[in-house]
């Protein structure tokens, strides 16, 4: 593992949604918040704020790709959050995974979170898992599917993050546990080393 925070876990979340009112981003913030409560440092790669063109292997350092890869290089663990589009994970997240690869993900614990407007999210998780395994990520068995997203939060998605709350406290705990699990896995590997 090549994380750069020897004194504590550094967990990077990647939000695969470009929507301003993203339920995926909100859920990912809960997971990262739990990672911070577990003592980790965190960073969110909010793809709305980055210039990341569709991947071209002839120009793999275009736009903000070096900055994104740099954050992923530093990460001890990663949480990937995606909306489900047409049965799979989002193209912005796929673009990140095209630029980054085993140098950034190899051997690192990766937690997966999929959010859907409907009732089926597991396909996106399965596709994302296969892609992550192909770049040597150590994908956690524990993953979170958040279906029917618009009914999972009490407040309007445009409300500030602190004002958005899960309707179901068990679902909130599952999302937060994803962040804790990534931190736990990073720490257990350090003990074993």
Residue ranges per structural domain of the chain: 10-192
pLDDT at 190: 83
Whether 70 has a pLDDT exceeding 60, the answer reads yes
Q: Where is pLDDT greater, at 190 or 7?
A: 190
Residue 176's pLDDT is what?
A: 96
Average pLDDT of the segment spanning 45-71: 96
* pLDDT greater than 90 at residue 101: yes
* CATH code for the structural domain at 10-192: 3.40.50.360
Mean pLDDT of the chain: 90
Please say if the pLDDT value at position 139 is more than 60. yes
DSSP-derived secondary structure letter, 53: P
| Band of residue 1 on the pLDDT scale cut at 50, 70, 90 | very low
pLDDT of residue 113: 97
Contact call for residues 111 and 77 (beta carbons, < 8 A) = yes
CB 59 within 8 A of CB 99: no
- Asked whether the predicted pLDDT for residue 95 surpasses 90, the reply is yes
Output the six-digit token pair for 108: 């690192």
Q: Does residue 7 register a pLDDT over 70?
A: no
Q: Say how far apart CA 18 and CA 109 lie, in whole Å.
A: 24
When pLDDT is averaged across residues 12-29 and rounded to a whole number, the result is 94
CB burial of residue 1 (10 Å; 0-12, 13-18, 19+):
middle
Whether the pLDDT of residue 103 is over 90: the answer is yes
pLDDT score, position 2: 46
- Model pTM score: 0.91
Question: In the chain, which ranges are continuous DSSP H helix?
Answer: 23-37, 65-74, 91-99, 102-105, 122-134, 169-192
Residue % of the chain over a pLDDT of 70: 90
CB 193 within 8 A of CB 55: no
What is the pLDDT confidence band of residue 161, given thresholds at 50, 70 and 90?
Answer: low
pLDDT at 41 over 70: yes
Span 52-58, mean pLDDT?
A: 95
**pLDDT at position 46 over 60:** yes
Question: How many whole angstroms separate alpha carbon 10 and alpha carbon 146?
Answer: 25
- Interatomic CA distance for residues 130 and 104, integer angstroms: 16
Tokens of 39: 């003592």
Share of the chain above pLDDT 90, in %: 74
Q: What is the DSSP letter of 55?
A: P
Q: How far apart are the first and last CA of the chain?
A: 11
Reduce the DSSP state of residue 32 to 3 states and report it.
Answer: helix
- The DSSP code for 166 is B
């Amino acid at each position: 593992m090549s994380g750069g925070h020897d004194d504590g876990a550094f967990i990077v979340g990647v939000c695969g949604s470009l929507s301003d009112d993203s339920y995926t981003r909100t859920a990912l913030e809960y997971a990262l918040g739990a990672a911070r409560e577990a003592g980790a440092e965190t960073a969110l790669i909010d793809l709305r704020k980055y210039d990341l063109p569709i991947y071209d292997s002839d120009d793999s350092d275009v736009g903000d790709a070096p900055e994104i890869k740099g954050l992923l290089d530093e990460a001890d663990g990663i949480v990937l959050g995606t909306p489900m589009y047409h049965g799979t994970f989002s193209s912005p997240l796929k673009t990140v995974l095209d630029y980054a690869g085993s140098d950034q993900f190899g051997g690192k614990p990766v937690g997966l979170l999929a959010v859907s407007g409907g009732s089926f999210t597991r396909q996106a998780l399965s596709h994302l898992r296969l892609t992550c395994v192909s770049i040597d990520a150590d994908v956690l068995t524990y993953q979170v599917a958040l279906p029917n997203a618009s009914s999972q939060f009490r407040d309007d998605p445009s409300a500030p993050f602190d004002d958005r709350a899960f309707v179901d406290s068990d679902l909130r705990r599952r999302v937060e546990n994803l962040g804790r699990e990534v931190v736990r896995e990073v720490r257990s590997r350090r003990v074993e080393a």
